[in-house]
Structure 1
């Protein structure tokens, strides 16, 4: 496991490849400021910026970045549509939606389109930079406020009748991991909470996805809350 600095971020060693980032946002002042600030973050390299979803899709295909930061609502092509097309053209690219929208429907659509993260624009630059690093490592991240809204929304939904597949039960430890993931914690934070290693957390997440036959942590959280697997009061 990589060493971390005092802030809990992976230390950047000389010779390590920087995480290559593309920023797509139609608000020029916000976009330029974000590009400038991310450029000062160790281990991150902004390789391009675009002002709409169409240009952003083409830019991502041309530069093949590690992470793309996408606004949700943009001209010419929405962020959700751009996310879907970028994942088709550059499957290895990770997408983070960075938006003012705190609508649950936008979060659901982003997850279905293949986004690995969902942050609100009131996040600090440190939070955005951490999200880029976390998502580049293959994890998923939702703003804690959105994770809470997601849970609250599903708590109001009635549980539909369904045929329960045999053996679809999660262990108590897997449920503990899922509860913490649902609240927006990354693997390192989950490991600290449960006093287990980060690798053990990764194994639990992989087992959860296999048991639920899902493809991402975000999908697992949405499924588990909908099906009331988390026993949230």
Structure 2
């Protein structure tokens, strides 16, 4: 069983790294280095096998809980940490902050069965840039890894819907019925931010607004700079808290 579920570790590095020397000039970038963190060994091994089939993704290590994840992140400096929320010794959300301290460039994706809004909010606050439910397909996992490595945030659609529902409820509890957009953002930037809040990626936003993906990326970068924030999800949370988006209508 060990030989079946642990091919990458047994052969001295992942497939992407072993085959990296064969890359020609102009070929895709260096493989995305992933640390897999989950307290179920069978799940870790299965996920490792799936990811190792991707030429641009490299599983550099694994951990069984948040405490071990922090140690491994400090040693391996992965690009992506794919981590469960609830684990023994130290949970994933608690580990987020420490991982960001020891591996500042690492981006964290929570991959969990927890569909609790509280876990989603706490994960975002702790620095996670993705929140995916384990019900998604393996193709969606690999797509999310690539998207987050490119600087995007990824949230499972059902969780994004819960996020919007909660923010709508917050809006309805206020006395103000009309929310005034922040004057520091242009109308187009507000449009982009609203679509980000709906869980859409750059490609979908570009299609909706009939603009290029590069233009979308520029708008997102400008939004983050103006609001002095570090991630797309921070911008969404900020926008809702400061009432610069009216999601209570339409």
User: Is the TM value for this pair above 0.5?
Assistant: yes
Structure 1 residue corresponding to 2:86, chosen from 65, 70, 73 = 73
Instruction: Name the counterpart of 2:221.
Output: 206
Q: Which residue in 1 is equivalent to 2:235? A: 220
Query: Quick one: distance in 1 between partners of 2:92 and 2:181?
Result: 38
Are 2:200 and 1:185 aligned?
Answer: yes
Structure 1: unaligned runs, 5 residues or longer: 1-12
Deviation at 1:173, TM superposition (A): 1.1
Judged with a 3 Å threshold, the aligned counterparts in structure 2 of structure 1 residues 133 and 168 are, in CA distance, closer, same or farther, namely: same
CA 1:193–1:15: 2 relative to 1, 3 Å: closer
- For structure 2, the residue ranges without an aligned partner over 5 or more in a row are 1-25
The counterpart of 1:32, out of the listed 45, 49, 74, is: 45
Once the two structures are TM-superposed, the CA of residue 42 in structure 1 deviates from its matched residue by 2.7
TM-score scaled by length of structure 1? 0.87
Residue equivalent to 1:6: none
1:211 to partner: Cα distance: 3.0
Q: CA deviation at 1:229?
A: 2.8
Paired position in structure 2 for 1:91? 104
Q: What is the count of residue pairs matched by the alignment?
A: 219
Superposition misfits of 4+ residues, deviation over 6 angstroms: 164-167
Q: Relative to 1, partners in 2 of residues 1:77 and 1:166: Cα closer, same or farther, differing over 3 Å?
A: same
Aligned-residue offset at 1:223: 2.3
Distance across 1 between alignment mates of 2:167 and 2:120: 13
> Which has more radius of gyration?
2
The 3 A distance-change label for structure 1 pair 31 and 190 is same
Q: Do 2:32 and 2:56's aligned partners in 1 also have CA atoms closer than 8 Å?
A: yes
Higher helix residue share: 2
Give the secondary structure class of the aligned counterpart of 1:68. strand
- Cα distance, 1:103 vs structure 2: 1.1
How many Å apart are 1:32 and its aligned residue? 1.3
Select the residue among 54, 58, 66 that pairs with 1:41: 54
Q: Would the aligned equivalents of 1:151 and 1:225 in 2 still touch at CA under 8 Å?
A: no
Q: RMSD over aligned Cα, in angstroms?
A: 2.2
